[in-house]
Structure 1
């Protein structure tokens, strides 16, 4: 089992779109039984996977009140891919986690879920918080989508500091330049400054994920952005393999 956290300190960088597409790659391309756990109160992941969210506000209870995750998990239309959806109750989860004082609560829960899932994706909230700190402690690898700008390296340094603060055996990180338009000079300069970072383009087909309510691999599998997502997924699998070998 491996836990993969998708985390950014900034919203609007395609984090949730990336998380849902990587979860699809995990389940469909690699054949892993996969759970996408949405920890972002904006709750966009369920929508992108074609799941209509429930009106009840109980997502926080899985973490803060020992509610069994199985009661909240929803199957998607994609074989082997389930989701634990978010809702607005997660807005107060930070204070609840501080109150209960369990620093590895999320790690414990993902460990328990490992009997049912080979890959667990965490779509983290786009802010430095107790929830994100818990996700870092639970993760085997952290994927960091970043805007293509001269500040990309600085933003990644902030995330790296957060991840390293999660413990001595902190997970490896994989920065990703997201929503890249190669026609723009600043975007090209960001790629040149970070040549080893994977690149995900700003593409109308990726925007169509919200219209089609499905990952790009499900409706445009041969497209360039779909191939870029698949390449990123293979890089993640290599990161996990290298971590297991250490």
Structure 2
């Protein structure tokens, strides 16, 4: 089993869109997949059709079976551990990164019997507890929008998480808007300063809004549109790096 966190310090860079579409693509390949929504907004849960669930803060404060918190989505082989507003106090539920890492590792170990891949949609926050979660996973997928603030946020987290091994760190460029010359200039010349960033790009697309209307991953509802093809290409690039059995 592999666990991959989708994380960025800056919001609005397509983190949740990435998480749900990659989860759907993995499930389509008959990989039992769990989308674990850790963002209090619960957008990933909502997109996958989950409106209600147990308060997730209870998971971090009790020893109840984790299956109690997991619900099936409408996509075969894709389950959801849904988020809710109780996660706003997530950083108060654990004493620090050591406890968060230990608790997450324990839960992931229990889930390994049922899932081949766990994708965690993380909130845009940098706390010791969040660092503990990231230390417990196998891979960290980081969407980087070609904008000043997004690049700055990426540099901040890369410096903060210098413990991450090269194989764990998977940044990629997202939300490229071809109408913006600054985006194109950065991809052409600025990207060369970041050799660790995957050369698989996800473009800005209005199809992301359509996905919200449909409450379903774009790769499921409109698999031939450019955004869906972008995510298909990203999944193809990521799959060998995940070493899935």
TM-score, normalized by the shorter chain, greater than 0.5: yes
Query: Residue 208 of structure 1: SS of its match in structure 2?
Result: helix
Q: Deviations over 1:124-148 (max 9, x none)?
A: 1101023421221121111101221
Question: Would the aligned equivalents of 1:164 and 1:170 in 2 still touch at CA under 8 Å?
Answer: no
Q: CA deviation at 1:163?
A: 3.0
Q: Which residue of 2 aligns with 1:214?
A: 216
8 A contact 2:6–2:122 mirrored in 1: yes
Q: Within 1, Cα distance between the matches of 2:51 and 2:135?
A: 30
1:240 aligns with 2:205: no
Gaps of 5+ in 2: 193-197
The RMSD of aligned alpha carbons is 2.2
Q: Tell me, yes or no, if the aligned pair for 2:96 and 2:132 is still in contact at 8 Å.
A: no
Equivalence for 1:67:
64
Equivalent residue pairs, number: 238
| Contact 2:98/2:132 (<8 A) preserved | no
Report if the CA contact (8 A) 2:140-2:168 is conserved. yes
In structure 2, how many angstroms separate the alpha carbons of the residues matched to 1:154 and 1:46?
Answer: 28
Residue number in structure 1 paired with 2:51: 52
8 Å CA contact retained: 2:219, 2:228: yes
How far apart are residue 162 of structure 1 and its match? 3.4
Q: Distance in 1 between matches of 2:166 and 2:57?
A: 25
Contact 1:64/1:100 (<8 A) preserved: no
Residues 171/61 of structure 1: CA separation in 2 closer, same or farther (3 Å cut): farther
CA distance in 2, matches of 1:171, 1:136: 14
Match of 1:37 in 2: 36
- CA deviation string 1:146-179 (max 9, x = no partner): 221245543322222333346xx68521212222
Structure 2: how far apart are the matches of 1:163 and 1:170? Answer: 11
Q: 1:67 to 1:197 in 2, by over 3 A?
A: farther
Q: Quick one: distance in 2 between partners of 1:153 and 1:131?
A: 23
Contact 1:149 1:187 in 2 (8 A): yes
Task: Give the match's secondary structure for 1:8.
Answer: coil
How much has 1:13 moved relative to structure 2? 0.9
Q: 1:164 to 1:66 in 2, by over 3 A?
A: farther
1:64 touches 1:93 (CA, 8 Å); kept in 2? Answer: no
Q: Distance in 1 between matches of 2:88 and 2:104?
A: 16
| Pair 120,153 (structure 1): closer, same or farther in 2 beyond 3 Å | same
Q: Following TM superposition, by how much is the alpha carbon of 1:100 offset from its aligned partner in structure 2, in angstroms?
A: 10
Query: Per-residue deviation at 1:99?
Result: 7.0
Hey, what does 1:109 align to over in structure 2? Answer: 107
Does the Cα contact within 8 Å between 1:136 and 1:163 map onto a contact in 2? no
- Ranges in structure 1 where 5+ consecutive residues have no aligned partner: none
Residue of structure 1 aligned with 2:141, choices 143, 146, 149: 143
Partner Cα distance (1:129, 1:209) in 2: 31
Deviations 1:52-86 (A, max 9, x none): 224x5x20121232232100101001000000001
For 1:212 and 1:218, locate their aligned partners in 2 and report how far apart those are by CA, in whole Å: 10
